[in-house]
Structure 1
């Protein structure tokens, strides 16, 4: 079964996946509020790895590089309800509020420990996925505003995340790439997140690293995989996705070419 997503509005969706594994690497354009119904998700970011299961509610801030690996669990499909909190919607919500932002603020994933108010808000959307015809725009706006209001009620720091409408500016390329090389993103996306056009990103990258981005990224990912397999004794099948490879056989070929032995030998 393919990954299935049903939208009742462009900002509210139900996702379902029943096969063994679904992996994607994303930078969300909008904040994502997610209620987990069944299955399991591992979200890998530069500084932390999170695992979410049925009942969990969490917020992924926008513009954060993430590897997302979804699994069915306990015979149940991977199912979530997700709400996009777009910049446009948030600007409207905050237009009449006097908010003093405290920047910079941590853009880490925020977990709300199966909070009953958020769970109730998102669960109330389920019947609408079975109704034929367009979802009323005013009801969608009410539901999203309800979710934002609950977030503000239960997280005193959330305004510094949701009401920050800044776009990425030009930042230190070396520091960013050393921290985020394991994410298999298009070069255009790396450029955007470091505040550069693609041509400027490629030029700055060659100047700082003395190699093309793709060659350097492959080398860094293989070095990380080698460390995980040799030092931490992890299995190749548990490593290749997390370090930025998409295919196990391609990973094994590249690993053997780099180190002289296949990853299954573990250096032995």
Structure 2
């Protein structure tokens, strides 16, 4: 089995992946604090990329569009502890705290190595070996400990963790032009632009004079062609970066649109 997940409770999990590559699209509903034990994680956002190696700790803020690639490395599987910081949990934590307003960080946050953070996350490992249900009170203590440590090592983290605003209605055209390469459902695109699915489709038609599916396919194929010609990237790499699910579907769509296969550009 290439991919295995063990849970302490629904909010804390240990994942282990032995295959060549595991890809997922992110626009998580909760903040995700990740401690990478081994392997490598590459995260691609619209205007920035991040690469995290073994020992790294990073936070993926909620509602942030990203493509995540997890790889084994140095003969070791991709193994990580992930802690979900839910809105309910954070509301309880910040309920009686006065927070000075600051600009909200809206990108992946990497943390410098710190003994307190490492100790907190390392202490979770033995609990994954327990066969019985993990006590909720201890899980709560561990999550609150992690939040307090983040606040100790990053004075700006409150602006992210204490922000409970839902996405408001924004410029749909500008958002889609920036984020079309992320393989999200139309419903999710609608939510992130502050619209219902019905309103999103209506506004999209007015803005682009076509359907979202047709426009997304064309934009992704054009970006793929750019990567092939200008950046000399290979099809297997480009396929996932521009929002396709698998290489065969991507190759068929590319040939239908351009009249030749991606591989013909490298002959």
Are residues 21 and 260 of structure 1, via their aligned partners in 2, closer, same or farther at CA, if it must alter by over 3 Å?
A: same
Q: 1:180: how far off?
A: 0.7
Q: Deviations over 1:211-240 (max 9, x none)?
A: 110100000000110110001111111111
Q: In the alignment, what sits opposite 2:34?
A: 34
Counterpart mapping for 1:17-96 below 5 A: 17-96=17-96
- Any runs of at least 4 consecutive aligned residues in structure 1 with deviations exceeding 3 A, and if so which? none
Q: RMSD across aligned C-alpha pairs, in angstroms?
A: 1.2
Q: 1:2: how far off?
A: 3.7
What is the alpha-carbon distance in structure 2 between the residues aligned to residue 222 and residue 133 of structure 1? 49
Q: In the alignment, what sits opposite 2:121?
A: 122
Question: Which deviates the most, 93-102 or 223-232?
Answer: 93-102
Question: Which deviates the most, 206-215 or 256-265?
Answer: 256-265
Q: 1:65: how far off?
A: 1.0
TM-score of the superposition, structure 1-length normalised?
0.96
Unaligned runs of 5+ in 1: none
Contact kept? 1:261, 1:267, Cα under 8 Å: no
Q: In the alignment, what sits opposite 2:137?
A: 138
- Report how many residues are paired: 267
Q: In the alignment, what sits opposite 1:245?
A: 244
Q: Secondary structure at the match of 1:241?
A: helix
Q: Deviations over 1:14-59 (max 9, x none)?
A: 0111111111112111111100011111111112111111100001
Q: Deviations over 1:240-267 (max 9, x none)?
A: 1000011112111211222222111227
Question: Which deviates the most, 133-142 or 221-230?
Answer: 133-142
Q: In the alignment, what sits opposite 2:163?
A: 164
Q: Secondary structure at the match of 1:240?
A: helix
What is the alpha-carbon distance in structure 1 between the residues aligned to residue 166 and residue 155 of structure 2? 23
What is the alpha-carbon distance in structure 1 between the residues aligned to residue 95 and residue 26 of structure 2? 29
Counterpart mapping for 1:186-265 below 5 A: 186-265=185-264
Q: Deviations over 1:81-105 (max 9, x none)?
A: 01011111111111111112224x2
Q: In the alignment, what sits opposite 2:5?
A: 5
What is the alpha-carbon distance in structure 1 between the residues aligned to residue 168 and residue 266 of structure 2? 42
What is the alpha-carbon distance in structure 2 between the residues aligned to residue 106 and residue 121 of structure 1? 24
Q: In the alignment, what sits opposite 2:112?
A: 113
TM-score of the superposition, structure 2-length normalised?
0.97
Q: Secondary structure at the match of 1:134?
A: coil
